[in-house]
Amino acid sequence: MRVVLVLALCALTMAPLSGQSPNDPAQREAREILAEMVSINTSLQRGDVTPLAEKLAARFRKVGVPAADVQLIGPEAKNKNLIVRIRGKRSAKPVLFLAHLDVVDALRADWSLEPFALTEQKDGWLYGRGTIDDKGPAATLVAGALALVRSKVAPDRDIILALTSGEENADEPGAAWLVRTRRELVDAEWVFNFDAGGPTIDRNKLAWIKLQGSEKVFWTVTLSAHNSGGHSSLPRPDNAIYSLVKAIRGLEALTFPVDLTEVARAQLTARSPFVAASEAALIRDALKEPLDSAAAFRLARFSPSYNALLRTTCIPTMLAGGHAENALPALATATVNCRLIPGENSAAILKALKLAVNDTAIVITEVHPARPSPPSPLLPERLALVNVAARAAWGHEVPITPVQENVATDGLYFRNAGVPVYGVTGISMPVGEERMHGRDERIPAKSFREGVVFATALMRETAGGKAKR
């Protein structure tokens, strides 16, 4: 069955949950949790994830989760994950809810306000490092899990909450460590990853929910030009920097072929009704079968996002060369980051890079091996769960659009282990709001409240079961 067909779901009826008022007890608690999260610097450079994980663990013990089901474990003392298991009747395999607690570092001098304090401005936004990535979504999950425990519902299955460390830039991310060393703690039928996807506000209206079904594969290499060097007063044509520049120009001219995956095709199909007529026409031409490569490239040239969706990309991101201003460079290096379309392999991309560089003296070295990330099947019953949560948060069904993410997430490690992953959060963000990892990161306060309702409903519906008597 084609992915596009699973989008035609029957309408699900469910009364909206209470609790979108800021004064609702659950909302006040969720806001308190987010403030606590943001206040603790959990960056790898200057912070520590473990104190935050410990504070959150204490909340779960306080509401009655057995100590044995609240575990703080990880690859190092400052890099511990929090794993909480809410026990069910085990009539079905567990489902895991995933988010990460670490953040990219932030300097006070770069921000207009304190990055490690949750601040609500008069504009209705909540500011603070991690509000988008990924403490805002993680806080909604914590609130949802606490609500599930307090509800006294006996779930049909175990629900696992995994709040991980080191997702941003650790040598071994906490999720990778868990899958590799403690698989029994996080083994699940599928994963809802709250570090991808989510509802989108377009022209001040909630337009659709992005559901990440696949992600491009992260792969990094270096291009290096070597030379014997010498004194700068005696220049020679065989300059390492000249050689590297020529190699980069060859890379600039490289165009990878269009590779339209099933998830990408479904993403474009779902997107088409929401764009201008001229853009929709480009999408229709790109979706024709058999594939018209020229039409697909016209769409790719329309915007960087379409270009990234339709093909593998490789781009230089860092340069280094020489060691003194009065010396000929003995070494010049460029770091090249590639994002591979799911299903493509790095060996074929390496071959294409060598042809583009066209210089056997340039050494191409793999820095981070590519880890395949197979697409997850977009099954109707799993999309239905997202629909139920949407109706709880917004009172009506919201169109779901599958997405093929351009960036890598912790979902990669679970997909590699054979566990399907679906990236979705309930915090709606406006089109064009791009402050993730940047200055004055923020989320709408209203969207956070809706996200709490969404996460609570999604976790409750996924757990199933009835109230204990």
Whole-angstrom distance, CA of residue 205 vs CA of residue 197 = 17
Whole-angstrom distance, CA of residue 69 vs CA of residue 96 = 14
Average pLDDT over residues 318-334: 95
* pLDDT at 468 (0 to 100): 60
Distances, alpha carbon 120 to alpha carbons 125, 187, 198, 446, in Å: 6, 38, 22, 11
Q: Which three-class secondary structure state does DSSP give residue 331?
A: strand
Q: Which residue has the higher pLDDT, 236 or 14?
A: 236
Query: Taking 60 as the threshold, does the pLDDT of residue 3 lie above it?
Result: no
* pLDDT at 2 (0 to 100): 41
Contact in structure between 55 and 34 (CB atoms under 8 Å) = no
Whole-angstrom distance, CA of residue 273 vs CA of residue 167 = 35
Whole-angstrom distance, CA of residue 421 vs CA of residue 414 = 7
pLDDT digits (tens, 9 = 90+) for 427-456: 999 988 889 899 999 999 999 999 999 999
Which run of H or of E encompasses 333? strand 331-340
Query: Taking 80 as the threshold, does the pLDDT of residue 356 lie above it?
Result: yes
pLDDT digits (tens, 9 = 90+) for 207-218: 999 999 999 998
* pLDDT at 467 (0 to 100): 65
Domain boundaries, the chain: 3-215+375-467, 217-368
Residue 259, classified by CB atoms within 10 Å of its CB into exposed (0-12), middle (13-18) or buried (19+), is middle
Distances, alpha carbon 274 to alpha carbons 159, 279, 386, 401, in Å: 35, 10, 20, 11
Contact in structure between 120 and 182 (CB atoms under 8 Å) = no
Query: In the predicted model, what is the mean pLDDT of the chain?
Result: 92
* pLDDT at 27 (0 to 100): 96
What the block records as the tokens of 400 is 């779901």
Q: What CATH class does 3-215+375-467 carry?
A: alpha beta
Average pLDDT over residues 2-28: 56
pLDDT digits (tens, 9 = 90+) for 247-281: 999 999 999 999 999 899 999 998 898 889 999 99
pLDDT digits (tens, 9 = 90+) for 150-167: 998 889 999 999 999 999
pLDDT digits (tens, 9 = 90+) for 384-434: 999 999 999 999 999 999 999 888 899 999 999 999 999 999 999 998 888
Going by their DSSP bridges, the two strands 327-328 and 230-231 should be labelled as antiparallel
* pLDDT at 84 (0 to 100): 98
* pLDDT at 348 (0 to 100): 96
Whole-angstrom distance, CA of residue 458 vs CA of residue 453 = 9
pLDDT digits (tens, 9 = 90+) for 174-216: 999 999 999 999 999 999 999 999 999 988 999 999 999 999 9
What the block records as the tokens of 1 is 């069955």
Question: Which phi and psi angles does 338 have, rounded to 5°?
Answer: -115, 145
Q: Which residue in 3, 14, 148, 169 sits closest to 88, CA to CA?
A: 148
Which run of H or of E encompasses 72? strand 70-73
The pTM score is: 0.87
Distances, alpha carbon 358 to alpha carbons 223, 247, 250, 352, 353, in Å: 12, 7, 8, 10, 8
* pLDDT at 191 (0 to 100): 98
Taken in order 104, 107, 110, 111, the sign of the CA dihedral is positive
Query: Taking 60 as the threshold, does the pLDDT of residue 85 lie above it?
Result: yes
DSSP lists the bridge partners of residue 192 as 97, 422
Contact in structure between 317 and 335 (CB atoms under 8 Å) = yes
* pLDDT at 91 (0 to 100): 80
Average pLDDT over residues 226-252: 94
Whole-angstrom distance, CA of residue 219 vs CA of residue 87 = 38
Query: Taking 80 as the threshold, does the pLDDT of residue 363 lie above it?
Result: yes
Whole-angstrom distance, CA of residue 377 vs CA of residue 172 = 27
**Has domain 217-368 been given CATH number 3.10.20.600?**
no
* pLDDT at 469 (0 to 100): 55
